[in-house]
Chain A
Amino acid sequence: MKKFMLDLQVSGVERIHERYVLLRLTCVERLPEMVPGQFAEVRVDGSPSTFLRRPISIHFVDRRNNELWLLVATVGDGTRRLGQLQVGERVNCVLPLGNGFSIPPRENRGARTADERGEHETDERGERAADERGAQEAAGGARAADKGGAQAGCAEAKLLLVGGGVGVAPLLFLGAELKGLGFEPTFLLGARTGGDLLMVDEFRRYGRVLITTEDGSVGERGFVTRHSVLSTESFDRIYTCGPTPMMKAVAAYAYKNNVFCEASLENMMACGLGACLCCVEKTTEGNLCVCKNGPVFNINQLLWQN
């Protein structure tokens, strides 16, 4: 997928939480094609202590309004500066970067096959390119399909999207794409407290939303992996993004139950293009760049079994 460096214009800045800001960006031309799980490297201007770009997941692409949504956790000087942007300001972004989540293949939809459970990684990766093209075509029509149910017959594959903290970000775009393709994704979102839940109403547009909070104020009490749905229902695929301990716990469930599972990693990055080799993760194929070979990895590629 062709990458671009673009000066995007801020069309919205919404502080949705004391530590999170929803940035909406647009440009005169049509935004480039991108797929769920990919990210942007955002240049931070006006923050003297910030030198490198900040890698930020693509939260949602609103094709109708030609808007790119970024959910920014304002944790350091750089991201705090991004949270202070004003409508009309320009933000330089390099995008789309990384591989993205793999969409369940059309022909296997609704049927649990060895491929879907990730037992044939090579086949899976071969299909990814085709899947991505399908996803791109669907991108423009995601909202329309939401209403019309263009491919409602494909809804049987059970897909679970598990997110925690700012890790929920790429799952909204993924959920919207899946919904547009006729799936009925289930979101399992975890947070410390009810007040820390992000964008729940948006998630509800695209599927069932289940919640856990550590204090029990909303949904079930505890971590996401303790949610009752994991013992009462089975899933064909799990996609996860969030703090590493959470993703490892989700992966442990997936390994145990032999479920296809992809995790989106957040290693510290410099270039975002696979050039500097700073963000590597140990995998079955040696050290791979999270920015280029990821950020999405099938858990069978990761050395998380122990």
Chain B
Amino acid sequence: MAKLNVEIGRLRLKNPVMTASGTFGYGLEFQDFVPLEGLGGIIVKGTTLKAREGNDYPRMAETPMGMLNCVGLQNKGVAYFAEHIYPQLKDIDTNWIVNVSGSSPDDYAECAARVDALDGIPAIELNISCPNVKEGGMAFGVTTKGAASVVRAVRERYSKTLIVKLSPNVTDIAEIARAVEAEGADAVSLINTLMGMAVDVERRCRVLSIGTGGLSGPAVKPVALRMVWQVAQAVKIPVVGLGGIMTATDAIEFLMAGATAIEIGTANFIDPTVTVKVRDGISDWLDRHGCSSVQEIIGCIR
């Protein structure tokens, strides 16, 4: 059996398979389908300093090989998470990672500091790439200056592993990755959703309540893979790859393109057991190809 463990900053993962924020709830929703301790990490729903109701319904549109969403970071806030949800998670043996969002650098930093106080949360994923909120979110992630300002503010108040989730809705994602690396990010994860739109021709109106939404699913995979490959060559910190991964083969493509770990998102909606299948599929592939460790294939494509 090939070794599957990888490291992201000081974070040790049993295997490179994690779940993407907003697609796996708080993990508990999938307990009937997945032994949670069998995953490398679980990145929970986007969390903000104060509770958010999110955008109005409709928030979703199906697309060819994918979907659009404009959920808009609905969550009950970091205090609720710490008090009501964290106690249910902390004793389950996996890496619990909180996806942190905000509307200003101070907001992000304060939320991150609150998560820093939770012993059972060894890392955060900083969301500077949500396309569905008016303030903050992607606004910070599309310029080097904006991205750097958030990471700088958070780094001052957050001591553990800091992963920064990047937006694909930019001209040069490698430049953004270098900017957050320079401010002390321990890793980058990419890609968040691609901004898109859907139209209802019968009603002659937009499908989503706010008009636009983020595209995810297999439709975005080639774009994600290209960006992971570019960023992996532009930075020294580990890259976490995501975007349309449905199978172990998809995951291996990302690993070969330079991702140290991967996240599975939209695929959880199609097959709630997919994370375990991808993990086992990676292991089988490595065994079949005589690899003793997953490290042998990470970044093997230049």
- List the interface of chain A (C-beta within 8 A of B): 2-5, 43, 48-53, 94, 267-282, 286-287, 292
Q: What CA separation (Å) do A4 and B23 show in the bound complex? A: 18
Partner of A278, one of B53, B59, B273: B59
User: Chain A CB within 10 Å — which of B25, B54, B271 has the most?
Assistant: B25
Partner of A273, one of B58, B59, B64, B272: B272
Q: Is the CB of B71 within 8 A of A277?
A: yes
Chain B 23-78 residues near chain A, CB threshold 8 A = 23-25, 29-30, 32-33, 45, 53-54, 57-60, 62-67, 69, 71, 74
Q: Is the CB of B33 within 8 A of A5?
A: yes
User: Chain A CB within 10 Å — which of B268, B269, B271 has the most?
Assistant: B269
Q: Is the CB of B54 within 8 A of A277?
A: yes
Q: Is the CB of A52 within 8 A of B71?
A: no
Task: Write out the residue numbers on chain A whose beta carbons fall within 8 Å of the beta carbon of B71.
Answer: 276-278
Check B270 for interface membership: any CB of A closer than 8 A. yes
Q: Is the CB of B30 within 8 A of A278?
A: no
Task: Write out the residue numbers on chain A whose beta carbons fall within 8 Å of the beta carbon of B272.
Answer: 5, 94, 271, 273
Q: What CA separation (Å) do A127 and B22 show in the bound complex? A: 31
Interface of B, secondary structure class, is loop
Q: Is the CB of A280 within 8 A of B269?
A: no
Known: A51-B67, A271-B23, A292-B29. A276 touches B60 (CB 8 A): yes
Interface bracket on B: 20 to 34
Closest to B219 in A: A51
Closest to A291 in B: B29
Q: What CA separation (Å) do A267 and B64 show in the bound complex? A: 20
Known: A51-B64, A281-B57, A287-B53. A276 touches B33 (CB 8 A): no
Closest to A290 in B: B57
B183 to chain A, nearest CB (A): 31
Q: Is the CB of A275 within 8 A of B30?
A: yes
Question: Can you list 5 residue pairs at the A/B interface with Cβ under 8 Å?
Answer: A5-B272, A49-B64, A51-B217, A277-B54, A280-B57
Q: What CA separation (Å) do A269 and B67 show in the bound complex? A: 11
The tally of CB-CB contacts under 8 A between chains A and B is 90
Q: Is the CB of B62 within 8 A of A267?
A: no
Q: Is the CB of B67 within 8 A of A287?
A: no
Q: Is the CB of A4 within 8 A of B32?
A: yes
B192 to chain A, nearest CB (A): 15
Q: Is the CB of A271 within 8 A of B64?
A: no
Q: Is the CB of A276 within 8 A of B69?
A: yes
Q: Is the CB of A287 within 8 A of B32?
A: no
Partner of B63, one of A51, A271, A280: A51
- List the interface of chain B (C-beta within 8 A of A): 22-25, 29-30, 32-33, 45, 53-54, 57-60, 62-67, 69, 71, 74, 217, 266, 268-273
Closest to A52 in B: B62
Partner of B62, one of A5, A43, A51, A281: A51
Task: Write out the residue numbers on chain A whose beta carbons fall within 8 Å of the beta carbon of B270.
Answer: 43, 51-53
Q: Is the CB of A274 within 8 A of B25?
A: yes
What 4 pairs across the A-B complex have the smallest Cβ distances?
Answer: A275-B25, A278-B60, A3-B32, A271-B269
Task: Write out the residue numbers on chain B whose beta carbons fall within 8 Å of the beta carbon of A5.
Answer: 33, 271-273
Known: A267-B57, A273-B30, A281-B57. A287 touches B65 (CB 8 A): no
| Inter-chain pairs besides A268-B58, A279-B59, A280-B54, 4 sampled, C-beta below 8 Å | A3-B32, A52-B269, A271-B272, A276-B60
Q: What CA separation (Å) do A5 and B271 show in the bound complex? A: 8
Closest to A78 in B: B62
Closest to A1 in B: B32
Closest to B61 in A: A268
Q: Is the CB of B269 within 8 A of A270?
A: yes
Task: Write out the residue numbers on chain B whose beta carbons fall within 8 Å of the beta carbon of A53.
Answer: 269-270
A78 to chain B, nearest CB (A): 9
Closest to B71 in A: A277
Closest to B51 in A: A286
Partner of A276, one of B22, B32, B57, B63: B22
Q: What CA separation (Å) do A276 and B32 show in the bound complex? A: 17
B13 to chain A, nearest CB (A): 21
Q: What CA separation (Å) do A43 and B45 show in the bound complex? A: 25
Q: Is the CB of A280 within 8 A of B59?
A: yes
Q: What CA separation (Å) do A124 and B247 show in the bound complex? A: 44
Task: Write out the residue numbers on chain A whose beta carbons fall within 8 Å of the beta carbon of B57.
Answer: 267, 279-282, 287
Q: What CA separation (Å) do A239 and B66 show in the bound complex? A: 35
Q: What CA separation (Å) do A287 and B217 show in the bound complex? A: 25
User: Chain B CB within 10 Å — which of A4, A5, A50, A273 has the most?
Assistant: A273
Q: What CA separation (Å) do A274 and B272 show in the bound complex? A: 12
Task: Write out the residue numbers on chain B whose beta carbons fall within 8 Å of the beta carbon of A276.
Answer: 22-23, 60, 69, 71, 269
Known: A43-B270, A287-B53, A287-B74. A270 touches B32 (CB 8 A): no
Known: A276-B23, A276-B69. A270 touches B30 (CB 8 A): no
Q: Is the CB of B29 within 8 A of A270?
A: no
Task: Write out the residue numbers on chain B whose beta carbons fall within 8 Å of the beta carbon of A279.
Answer: 57, 59-60
Q: What CA separation (Å) do A272 and B269 show in the bound complex? A: 8
Task: Write out the residue numbers on chain A whose beta carbons fall within 8 Å of the beta carbon of B25.
Answer: 273-275
Closest to B32 in A: A3
Task: Write out the residue numbers on chain B whose beta carbons fall within 8 Å of the beta carbon of A2.
Answer: 32
Task: Write out the residue numbers on chain A whose beta carbons fall within 8 Å of the beta carbon of B24.
Answer: 275
Closest to A49 in B: B64
Q: Is the CB of A275 within 8 A of B23?
A: yes
Task: Write out the residue numbers on chain A whose beta carbons fall within 8 Å of the beta carbon of B65.
Answer: 51
